[in-house]
A = this chain, B = another copy of it.
Amino acid sequence: MRLERLGERGLIRRIRHTLGSDGPGVRVGIGDDAAVLEPTPGAWLLATTDLVIEDVHFRRRSAGPADIGWKAMAVNLSDIAAMGGTPRFALVALACPEDTEVEDVDLFYEGLTAAAAPHGVRVVGGDTGASPGGWIANVTLLGEMLGQPRLRSDARPGDLIAVSGTLGRAAAGLSVLEAARRPDLPDDVLDEVARAHLRPIARVSEGKWLGSAEGVHALIDLSDGLATDLGHIAAESGVTARVDLPRLPISVSARAVAQALGLDPLELATTGGEDYELLFTADPSAIDALTAGLRSATGAAVTLIGEISPGTPGVLFLDAAGRAVDVGQGYEHFHG
């Protein structure tokens, strides 16, 4: 059945039935003028929003409705993780062409809840409508934080710079999906990088753990790429961030894709964006305990990639010989 036949009220009933919306802290979910929620006493309220648009943030050729839903949720989960918080409630707005099949809308919400449910996040409200062009989705995510949120401005001279997981996979995945020809690489490599692009895993448990750990200072998620996101920390903290390029944990699969497609793996890792790993700065005396503790609590590996120093706010990338390297600018949403 197509959306234009089901109608808006039919669609809302369907969404409400599929998602439910009761849960801890939800007094009123989907179905009134606004959701009514019960905040945790004494907690900070965290709020973030992301708008994703067909042919800007994804292409229907490569991203199915479930992928779109998943990613729209995941990028917001990652923002809450980047504060050290716990995600709780989501508001989801979706606009599709009128001839969209209702089953595709179901898949969108299935993908979205598949990303959200493991973290106990409930969809408590939203909006639906017709789009004159492609798919448009907006997710707003509310989270909470009992201690102090970790800000971009919290880096201090002397801090070490650390990153979770590996870098470059999502950018490699995008390159594969956009390539004119399928690169000559094993299926599992191509699947891994495509999945990193289409179904990123937000580091929610890792963010919560780091958010309450001793010695963690600035914290951010890698959405726009290491160069840009570390640049935010440097700018907001008023410090210089030095990164030793040979230490970057570039994904083996990303390296393979880079070689097959004639790309620079360093560029994928520093400016590609969308890896949704966590980048943080920490007191050197705490770093061993943090690395071991995070791995033990969540399984995530941590790699030290550089150091914070006083000086002109900005990021310095150094090669093996200690020479500054220009790695480019990261993702820019308006292309001049």
CB contact between A37 and one of B6, B47, B129 (< 8 Å): that residue: B47
> Is A61 part of the contact surface with B, judged by Cβ < 8 Å?
no
Residues A1-35 near B (CB distance < 8 A):
3-9, 11, 27-28, 31-35
> Is A67 part of the contact surface with B, judged by Cβ < 8 Å?
no
Min distance, Cβ A201 to any Cβ of chain B, angstroms: 17
| CB-defined contacts of A27 to chain B, threshold 8 Å | 44, 149
Contact status B55-A132, CB under 8 Å: yes
> Is A323 part of the contact surface with B, judged by Cβ < 8 Å?
no
Once A7-B336, A334-B98 are accepted as A-B contacts, the answer to whether A37 and B33 lie under 8 Å apart by CB is no
Contact status A151-B334, CB under 8 Å: no
Best-surrounded residue of A5, A41, A83 (most CB of chain B within 10 A): A83
> Is A159 part of the contact surface with B, judged by Cβ < 8 Å?
no
Contact status B82-A33, CB under 8 Å: yes
| CB-defined contacts of A82 to chain B, threshold 8 Å | 33-34
| CB-defined contacts of A92 to chain B, threshold 8 Å | 49
A130-167 Cβ-contact flags toward B at 8 Å (1 or 0): 11111010101111010001011100000000000000
Q: How far is the CA of A134 from the CA of B56 in the complex (A)?
A: 13
Contact status A152-B31, CB under 8 Å: yes
Min distance, Cβ A111 to any Cβ of chain B, angstroms: 18
CB contact between A36 and one of B34, B44, B128, B334 (< 8 Å): that residue: B44
| CB-defined contacts of A31 to chain B, threshold 8 Å | 152, 236
> Is A221 part of the contact surface with B, judged by Cβ < 8 Å?
yes
Contact status A47-B138, CB under 8 Å: no
Contact status A93-B49, CB under 8 Å: yes
Q: How far is the CA of A261 from the CA of B290 in the complex (A)?
A: 71
Q: How far is the CA of A56 from the CA of B44 in the complex (A)?
A: 37
Closest to A132 in B: B55
> Is A181 part of the contact surface with B, judged by Cβ < 8 Å?
no
Q: How far is the CA of A139 from the CA of B28 in the complex (A)?
A: 20
> Is A46 part of the contact surface with B, judged by Cβ < 8 Å?
yes
> Is A288 part of the contact surface with B, judged by Cβ < 8 Å?
no
| CB-defined contacts of A57 to chain B, threshold 8 Å | 129
Contact status A51-B125, CB under 8 Å: no
Once A11-B334, A132-B134, A152-B31 are accepted as A-B contacts, the answer to whether A51 and B4 lie under 8 Å apart by CB is no
The 3 closest A-B pairs by CB, nearest first: A33-B82, A51-B93, A138-B138
A-B contact pairs, 8 of them (CB 8 A): A32-B236, A36-B149, A47-B140, A48-B125, A53-B132, A55-B132, A91-B140, A129-B333
